[in-house]
Amino acid sequence: MNLLSQANSQVPSKESPWPSAGLFPSTMLGVLLCTCVLALTPALAGEKRSASPASSEVAVKKGDLKDLRGQIDALRKEMAATADKRASAADQLKGVEQEISLTQRNLHNLSTQRSKLEGTLKDIGLQSRELEHRLNSQQAQLEKLVYRHYLLGNPDSLRLLLNGDDPNQMTRDLHYLAAIGRARSQLVREIENTLQRKQALAAVTRERAGELSAIESKQKEQHGKLVAQREQRKGVLEKISAKISEQRREIGNLQRDEKRLSQLIARLAKIIAARPAPRKEARAATEQRPPGKAAAPEISNESTPEAMPAGNIAQLKGALRLPVRGVLTNRFGAARQEGSTWKGLFIRAGVGSDVKAIAAGRVVFADWMRGFGNLMIVDHGSSYLSIYGNNDALLKQVGDSVRGGDSIASVGNSGGNPESGLYFELRHQGQALDPLKWVNLK
Please give the angle made by the CA atoms of 354, 303 and 317, to the nearest 5 degrees.
110
pLDDT of residue 2: 52
In a domain, 77, yes or no: no
* Least confident window among 42-51, 247-256, 414-423: 42-51
Which residue, 248, 269, 284, sits at the end of a domain?
Answer: 248
Looking at every residue in the chain, the average pLDDT score rounds to 75
Together in a domain, 207 and 105: yes
290 and 396 in a single domain? The answer is yes
Least confident of 9-23, 203-217, 381-395: 9-23
| 110 within domain boundaries | yes
Among residues 148, 176, 179, 164, the alpha carbon closest in space to that of 14 is found at 176
Give the model's confidence band at 138: pLDDT under 50 very low, under 70 low, under 90 confident, else very high: confident
Same domain, 200 and 228: yes
Asked if residue 196 and residue 274 are part of one domain, the reply reads no
- Short-list 227, 232, 226, CA closest to 102: 226
- Is pLDDT of 295 > 60? no
pLDDT of residue 391: 95
How many C-beta neighbours within 10 Å does residue 66 have?
11
Residue 424 has pLDDT above 60, yes or no: yes
pLDDT tens-digit series, residues 312-340 = 788 999 999 999 999 998 889 888 766 67
The mean pLDDT of 13-41, rounded to a whole number, is 38
User: Is residue 73 scored above 80 in pLDDT?
Assistant: no
Tell me whether residue 3 is in a domain: no
For residue 366, pLDDT beyond 90: yes
Residue 69 counted as domain residue: no
**φ, ψ for residue 245, nearest 5 deg:** -60, -40
Top pLDDT among 400 and 178 is at 400
DSSP β-bridge partners for residue 344: none
**Of 200, 231, 248, which residue constitutes the final position of a domain?**
248
Closest to 357 (Cα-Cα) out of 399, 392, 395, 330: 395
C-alpha count within 13 angstroms, C-beta hemisphere, residue 26: 0
Residue 93 CB burial class (10 angstroms; 0-12, 13-18, ≥19): buried
Return the higher-pLDDT residue of 410 and 47: 410
**Are the beta carbons of 358 and 387 closer than 8 angstroms?**
no
Say yes or no: 107 and 173 in one domain.
yes
35 pLDDT more than 80: no
pLDDT at 346: 94
Do 149 and 259 belong to one domain?
no
Check pLDDT > 80 for residue 303. no
Distance between CA 197 and CA 259 in Å, rounded? 64
pLDDT for the residue 130:
87
Q: How large is the angle between the packed helices 251-273 and 56-82, nearest 10 degrees?
A: 150
In a domain, 123, yes or no: yes
Residue 113 has pLDDT above 50, yes or no: yes
Q: Determine the pLDDT at residue 14.
A: 40
Same domain for 165 and 213: yes
Residue 346: exposure state from Cβ atoms within 10 A (0-12, 13-18, ≥19): buried
User: What average pLDDT does the segment 90-119 reach?
Assistant: 89
Q: Are residue 323 and residue 432 in the same domain, yes or no?
A: yes
The helix/strand/coil state of 198 is helix
* Total domains in the fold of the chain: 2
- Segment 147-169 mean pLDDT: 61
* Higher pLDDT pick, 47 / 387: 387
Range of the structural domain that residue 187 is part of? 24-40+88-248
Does 2 reside within a domain? no
CATH code of residue 401? 2.70.70.10
- What integer pLDDT is reported at residue 305 of this predicted model? 37
Residues 240/118, Cβ–Cβ less than 8 Å: no
In terms of pTM, does the model score above 0.75?
no
Percent of all residues in the chain with a pLDDT value above 90, rounded to a whole number = 27
Mean pLDDT across 289-316:
51
Residues 243 and 260 in one domain: no
Which of 321-330, 333-342, 392-401, 423-432 is predicted least confidently? 333-342
More confident position, 189 or 88: 189
Same-domain status, 211 and 279: no
With 60 as the cut, is the pLDDT of residue 225 above it? yes
For residues 142-160, give the mean pLDDT.
66
Within 10 angstroms of residue 1's Cβ, the number of other Cβ atoms is 7
* 79, part of any domain: no
Query: Does residue 11 come out as left (phi exceeding 0), alpha (psi in the -120 to 50 range) or beta?
Result: beta
Percent of the chain topping pLDDT 70: 65
pLDDT at 338: 63
Q: Are residues 238 and 253 in the same domain?
A: no
Domain boundary residue, one of 222, 248, 274: 248
Q: Is the pLDDT of residue 147 over 50?
A: yes
Which CATH number is 203's domain given? 1.10.287
318 burial (CB, 10 Å; 0-12 / 13-18 / 19+) is exposed
Cα–Cα distance, 168 to 140 (Å, whole number): 31
Pair 201, 277 in one domain: no
Residue 47 resides in a domain:
no
Banded model confidence at residue 373, pLDDT cuts 50, 70, 90: very high
- DSSP per-residue letters across 54-89: PPHHHHHHHHHHHHHHHHHHHHHHHHHHHS--S--G
Average pLDDT of 9-13? Answer: 45
Burial 119-150 (b: 16+ CB within 10 A, else e): eebeebeebbeebeebbeebeebbebbbbbee
Cβ neighbours of residue 308 under 8 Å, at least 6 residues apart?
281, 282, 283, 284, 359, 360, 404
Task: Tell me if 211 sits within 8 A of 120, measured CB to CB.
Answer: no
